[in-house]
Structure 1
Amino acid sequence: MSASGNKDFRDQLGKFRLDSGPSLPTSWHPPSQSEPSSDAHLARTKRVSTACDFCRKRKKKCDFRYPNCSACTRAGVRCTIPPPGPQVASASVPRDQLENLQKRVQWLEEVVQRKSGIAVADLPTGAPVDGESDPDWWYQVPAMIATGGGRPSATSMSSPAGSGGSSATAGPTGSEASTAVGTELPNVGEIFRDQLEHRRPSVARPKSAPRVLRLSSLEEAERVAGQYFDSMGYQYPFMSRLEFMGHLRHVYTGGVPSPEVHNAYHIILAISLLIGSADATQAAEFYHASQETLPLALQNEDLPAVRALLGLALYTLFATAGPSVWHVLGATMRLATSLGLHKARSSSNLAEEEMAKRAFWSLYNLDRLIASTLGRPLGIADEDISVDLPRELNDDGLEAPGSSAMTIPLQVVRLRRIFSRIYRYLYSSLPRPTPQEAAAMLSHFRREVDDWRMAAPVYPSALLYSTSYYDYLYYTTLLLMYRPSPRNPTPDVTSIVSCGDSSIQVIRSYWDSYSVGKLKWIWLTLSQVYFAGITILWCLEQNARSLRESQPAPWHPDEQMMRRGIQAVVVLLEEFGKRRPGVDRLAETFRHQSTIIFSQMAYQQQQLEAQQQRQQQPPPQPPLVPLQSVSLAAPPPPPVPLAPILDDVLLEDGSGAVPMIDPQMAEQLFYSYNWFQEEMASYYTL
């Protein structure tokens, strides 16, 4: 260390104090003559000796070398200095320890200011920096950290005693800061993040991102992005179309996007390419490019991180590779609730407030859909949600109820809230209600769902999309409500009829999409098609059971429409088998079981017609036979063979065998929902 450096260090060391109280006010005066002489002597002291203990004992001049002076180095002892004031213990400390403590205090002050925006270095010790009397202030901490907000203005903070309020004006101004992190209470989230998970603190993301993939032209990119916003964007509007298109043009004019923009650009195009093209290679390239900036997009607990996880969840919904959509949605829900997105909060920025609402309700819709399909718990209870629904704002910021891009997703959210109550009532471990109570609740839910469908507005820009999507959601909700469930295991006649009719309509929706080449070959489609198909078989089995018991059949479907529905399920399952290995076995099983059900129906119809003919004819006279020729044992009943083929496309067997009819086959098939959910979840790593 140079001589000038030594002098600077001595000057700093001489001025260094380990004061525990607030700094002296500007109006402080030296003690009067009436005060004790010791205090007066301390007040007159202008300089603290910095000679080391070894030199002081030998009464030699110390050259203040750092970290050991020359005398201590020659003597081979550790160079220590006396404490800098009477407030601390009298034990000597190493010369370098004070500088290390000083550097560490400075480092801690910088960490606090970087993470919370509080300039603690400018505040006196003991100054209050918490949220005072606001009980909900802690909910604002994650958002404040994420947006870089600072502490409250100086006028909202009480001045420390004796400071005259002058020191409370230090730090960011009121225009720069509105909230603060309390230092008197521990932030448990920060403790777990830094000490246990070793995650990076909330800091500004880099200004640039790595490589950017581009399509052939800007027009092509806008077309592909438009396909996303015209389909998935209507269902899950967590991304602003106007803002995204602006970033898209910036990228294609040579601009370098930030990490969060880079991630959103690549994942949205990857989703659009995946659902709109038979070749998934290009979609996979955009997906892998998005993963390069995913850690940066997720490094802070903020709204861009929620959007990044939602984009990842949508991609894994359509792709066979990637992380589990169940796990991704779980992490997204934890992050959203930690940010308080499920709570009603006022914000000065209307655009940010609306985008936060759209992100949360998009997550809500996805959570309800995935949980009910897999038979798993909901991610958040409706009672814990107090945030309002988004407003129906156009891209120009004007509110247009019933005629904006938010018309469809808002209507979907309203249905999902009814859907949640149905799911929680029927699919839980609570004691079973009485049949009368279950029937009353189902009737109440049916009125709610019917009112929802009657009041569903149509967005003119997506007329056909909105009406067909509403119908699909309506009938899938009826299926969830009327099919056998843990709390309603024996449905009545109304449930059987509603299950059968709804299943046919669900299959029809998927068949219409398949006919125009717009069917999404994802596990959700496979699940709904399979469930609807086996529900029709279950309803037909209920008809057969009633006939066996000499009761009228509860369900009277249109014969041609019902058979076309079964045929559509067989075709769709076979097409799935060509795209997803393992589904071909499911398609063959369903085809065989359909054959048995229809054969059973035909056999019963033949038996009924024969019985009617016998009733119309006079009974034949029994022939007279000798008594000794009468057998006492009745002959065994003949096996029930397959009836004549009713539909060559569906019921052709070709094996030549004569299978026996299992009356409980459809019942077991219908209750194989749980088996299919587990198989599907394991195969698709859900």
Structure 2
Amino acid sequence: MANSPANLEGVFVAVHSEVPLRVMQPRSACTFCRNRKIKCDGQGPACTPCIKHRKASTCSIRTQHRGQERDYLTYLENRIRRLQPSALNNSNSISGDHPTEIPPLYDNNNTEAAAKRDTSSIDSLICDIGALPIAASSYSARRSAEGPSLAAVVLASATCTEPWHPTIGISTDLREAPRLLATKLPSKETTRKLISHYLSHVYPRMPFFDIRGLWQQVDDIYGELNQVNQISSHDDGAFSHSATPFVYGDGNIDHIRRGTAYFDVIIVCSIATSSLSRSADSIVANNARELFRLALRFAEYAVLPNTVIGLQAILFLILYGIMNPSDLNVWYLIGVGMRICVDLGLHQDPPPKFLASMNKNMLETRRRLFWATYSFDRSMSLSHSLPCEISDSVIQVGLPHFRVEPTASEEDVLYYTQRYRIIQLQSLIFNRLYTSSSRSSIIGPWDTCKGEEVIAELLGSLFAWNENNALLSLPESKQLMESERLQSLILIYRPNKSIRLRSYNDLVQLWETSLAFSRIYRSFVERNEILYIAIAAEKIFTTGLTILYAFWQLQSILSDPYLDGNQVSSPGTLQEVTLWNGVRDVSFVLQSLSGRWKEGRSLAHRFEDIAERTIGLLMNRMATQHHADGQQSEGLPEELVELWQYSNSPSSSVMGIGVRNDSMLSMDDDVALRDLVLEIVRG
């Protein structure tokens, strides 16, 4: 009866008697922090104080025996391992030749060590490409087999066209990736052309990644595919994963590098292909959509929580979504991206005493990623008159210098800097005039000194920005900056929550500025230079409303029989033909954009209905020479009466805007692009 429970009781009593009633805090300080008597966060692979004092390489947390006791579960596992020999000895003394075997919980030299090595390697990779140190609580060292990944959650929430199922779009086995890509990817020559087109026409609008790294990924992927083809030709299709040159090892870091390379290259090709399309139903657009679906099969390796890799992947998804708003909800993706920025601390530069010693490439990466996300957030929020994801008051980060890539010209750097500054200024205007916190009692006629002071201050800031800008030499860059300046003026002169009724002079400025903005956007569309579709549609729609509103209000003021003609004079542009031209420009832009965005057709029809009703009322009033109060005219569309509080919450298909930074294509460029489109269509 040696193995009965009664005879084994002594084993468990002996083991239990050595278990302490109190468990020490597992996250103890490292040697450096204990000696200096400073607070240690226990973060791996090196704590924050050691990193700040350049002691990361000697931080005792890096050692395996300390790193294993940084959470309660690991502490208990190690405690069990230390007690197992004693339990076995007691069992042997009781049972004689039949010891009670207690299987080991984990293999200390394999499972735990591999998990810690993977975690340390991931942290090293993130630091290498310019990330902040990642808090130990931001992700788990061991990946859970249960529950969806961040990529699955993000894509399930952001997909607009059809219900998302994680097993369909992501989690492609990397061992099968070469076979899949060999049949799905275009040729290397076509891929290089697409990437070159992206770098020439899309990248200047949002330069948030390293160009040299992208080219290296292309070479690695096609080098792997070439070897796969050679192996298949010699072994009758047999393929050994270990034979591919792109496999660095079996750890998580190797899967991340490889999967991220697939995702980046494929989605860049998808974005470039989409930029060549003029219609959502074209063959080129369908090819772009197929490449996008292929990229999503590797999203799990790229869309990682609280990492620079994950943020870069989110920005790629946003960039695709703003060009194809029917496929992805960019509003949601921007929120995720900004949250990652805040979690990583990218919205604030390190303290000055650490900034001087910080790696310049790391600082440049931080700033580029943040300002790209900020630009998307402000463009989306301001165009829809909705609150932004993050307040400007908590942002303390300098602008990137954009001089990492040798391809960046002085003109490019000037354009990037001026654009980010004007976006900041537009955000300031919006916060002062349109947010609930800024709302004041300035709702009456323009005799309020406070309102005049606010407008004068904002106009002064805009004037200073314009005067301090270096002259841009390229006509397209000048026109892009002019469109941003006009958009800022429209924000200032529009009726808003702080100032509902505008003066005669303000209405004249609003009228002329809106007409100029609509003409510029029409020229963008005629040259196929609109890159961001849905917000561009929302911007031009709102501009159309301001054109109708300003004309109606000015006509109401000028038709007042009690008006002193010596006080105001009718602007020369206030004519019916000018109104018709402005409405025509807005309608043309909306109709053109709806070709790339089917849901945009409803926005175009909505504007046409508003314009038809408003112009009908105007013609009737002018024919009868009847004076009507501009704010209380019966039958005037509600969008104009309530323009001061107009906002349009984006639906699942309403996303980002922008204008592609193209130059006027020469004949040779046009031919080259047509050849590239034909090459894509032919496969």
2:360 aligned to which of 326, 343, 350: 350
Mapped partners of 2:421, 2:40: distance in 1:
30
Structure 1 partner of 2:108: none
Partner of 1:420: 427
Question: What is the CA deviation profile of residues 226-256 of structure 1, one whole-angstrom value per residue up to 9, with x for unaligned ones?
Answer: 3323333222211222332332244344465
Structure 1 position 369 matched with structure 2 position 379: yes
| Native 8 Å contact 1:341 1:356 kept in 2 | yes
Using the TM superposition, give the Cα deviation of residue 475 of structure 1 relative to its aligned residue in structure 2, in angstroms: 0.9
State how 1:12-91 maps to structure 2 within 5 Å.
72-73=2-3, 75=4, 77=6, 79-81=8-10, 91=13
Q: Does 1:276 align with 2:198?
A: no
Q: 1:531 offset after TM fit, Å? A: 0.9
The answer on whether the counterparts of 2:551 and 2:579 sit within 8 Å (CA) in structure 1 is no
Equivalent residue in structure 1 for 2:466, among 444, 448, 453? 453
Q: 1:403: Cα distance to partner?
A: 0.6
Q: How does 1:300-379 map to 2 (within 5 A)?
A: 300-345=305-350, 346=355, 348-379=358-389
Maintained 8 Å contact 1:330/1:379: yes
Seen in structure 2, the aligned counterparts of structure 1 residues 314 and 178 have a Cα distance that, compared at 3 Å, is closer
Counterpart Cα distance in 1 of 2:11 and 2:141: 39
- 1:486-509 deviation digits (Å, cap 9, x = unpaired): 111112223212221221122112
* Contact in 2 for aligned 1:423/1:480 (Cα 8 Å): yes
Root-mean-square deviation (Å): 4.7
Aligned to 1:669: 640
Corresponding residue SS for 2:397:
coil
Distance 1:178 1:589 in 2: 48
After TM superposition, give the deviation of residue 540 of structure 1 in Å: 0.8
What is the SS of the residue equivalent to 2:436? coil
TM-score by length of 1: 0.63
Mapped contact 1:539–1:555 kept (Cα < 8 A): no
Q: What is the aligned counterpart of 1:531 among 519, 542, 545? A: 542
1:298-351 alpha-carbon deviations (Å, 9 max, x no partner): 335321111001111121222134442122111111111111112212364322
* Amino acid paired to 2:503: D
| Counterpart-to-counterpart distance in 1, 2:224 and 2:463 | 52
Look up the match of 1:285: 290
- Secondary structure, in 3 states, of the residue corresponding to 1:391? coil
Alignment partner of 1:464 is 2:481: no
The residue aligned with 2:202 is 232
How do 1:189-588 residues align onto structure 2 when only pairs under 5 Å count? 189=138, 210=177, 211-212=180-181, 216-254=186-224, 256=246, 258-278=258-278, 279=282, 280-345=285-350, 346=355, 348-396=358-406, 403=410, 405-430=412-437, 431-434=439-442, 435-457=448-470, 463-520=474-531, 522-550=533-561, 551=563, 552=568, 555-557=571-573, 559=575, 561-577=578-594, 580-581=597-598, 583-588=600-605
More displaced stretch, 219-228 vs 490-499: 219-228
Q: How many angstroms apart in 1 are the aligned matches of 2:58 and 2:186?
A: 57
Mapped partners of 1:392, 1:471: distance in 2: 22
CA-CA distance at 1:453 after TM superposition: 2.5
Matches of 2:381 and 2:423 in 1, distance apart? 12
**Structure 1 residue 405 displacement after superposition:** 3.3
Q: Letter of the 1:591 partner, please give it.
A: E
Number of residue pairs the alignment of both structures matches = 507
Counterparts in 2 of 1:566 and 1:473: CA distance versus 1, 3 Å: same
Q: Which structure 2 segments of 5+ residues have no match? A: 62-115, 128-134, 151-171, 226-245, 247-256, 443-447, 657-683
Q: Distance in 1 between matches of 2:534 and 2:185?
A: 28
- Matched residues in 2 for 1:477 and 1:254: separation? 50
- Structure 1: how far apart are the matches of 2:554 and 2:43? 59
CA contact (8 A) 1:374 1:681 kept: no
CA contact (8 A) 1:144 1:150 kept: no
Aligned residues of 1:500 and 1:555 also touching (Cα < 8 A): no
CA contact (8 A) 1:475 1:503 kept: yes
AA at the equivalent of 1:532: T
Distance 1:592 1:467 in 2: 34
Does the Cα contact within 8 Å between 1:82 and 1:93 map onto a contact in 2? yes
Task: Supply the distance in 1 between the matched residues of 2:642 and 2:574 (Cα, whole angstroms).
Answer: 25
User: More helix by proportion, 1 or 2?
Assistant: 2
Letter in 1 for 2:207: P
The DSSP-based 3-state class of the residue aligned with 1:72 is coil
Residues 530-584 of structure 1, C-alpha deviations (whole Å, 9 max, x = no match): 1111111101101221133233566542645543221122233334455544554
Q: Distance in 2 between matches of 1:603 and 1:177?
A: 69
SS in 2 for 1:442: helix
Secondary structure, counterpart of 2:429 in structure 1: helix
Distance 1:393 1:404, change over 3 A: farther
The SS at the match of 1:681 is coil
3-state DSSP of counterpart to 1:230: helix
- Gap change, CA 1:510 and 1:664, over 3 Å in 2: same
Residues 80 and 319 from structure 1, CA distance in 2 versus in 1: closer, same or farther, beyond 3 angstroms?
Answer: same
Q: Distance in 1 between matches of 2:465 and 2:318?
A: 28
Shift of 1:293: 1.7
Q: Deviations over 1:154-193 (max 9, x none)?
A: 87779xxxxxxxxxxxx999xx9999xxxxxx96646999
2:412 counterpart SS class: coil
Alignment pair present for 1:93 and 2:15: yes
Amino acid aligned to 1:93: V
**Greater relative CO (CA pairs within 8 A, separation 6+):** 2
* Amino acid across the alignment from 1:420: S
TM-score (norm 2): 0.63
One-letter code aligned to 1:669: L
Structure 1 residues 320 and 543: alpha-carbon distance in aligned structure 2, compared to 1, 3 A threshold: same
Structure 1 contact 193–199 (Cα < 8 Å) conserved: no
Q: 1:215 to 1:188 in 2, by over 3 A?
A: closer
Aligned amino acid, residue 581 of structure 2: R
SS at match of 1:527: helix
Q: Conserved in 2, the CA contact under 8 Å of 1:427 and 1:487? A: yes
Q: Is the 8 A contact 2:326 2:597 kept in 1?
A: no
Greater radius of gyration (CA):
1
Q: Measure, in 1, the Cα distance between the counterparts of 2:211 and 2:368.
A: 12
Q: What CA distance in whole angstroms lies between the structure 1 residues aligned with 2:372 and 2:16?
A: 60
Instruction: Give the whole-Å Cα distance in 2 for the aligned partners of 1:410 and 1:139.
Output: 39
My pick for the range that moved more, 531-540 or 520-529, is 520-529
Bigger mean CA deviation after superposition, 502-511 or 431-440: 431-440
Distance 1:178 1:528 in 2: 38
CA contact (8 A) 1:129 1:151 kept: no
Aligned AA for 1:212? L
Preserved CA contact (<8 Å) 1:270 1:283: yes
AA partner of residue 583 (structure 2): I
The superposition leaves residues 116-147 of structure 1 with CA deviations (integer Å, 9 ceiling, x where unpaired) of xxxx9xxxx876575987999869979989xx
* Residues 434 and 497 in structure 2, CA contact (< 8 A), matched pair in contact too: yes
**Amino acid in the other structure paired with 1:79:** L
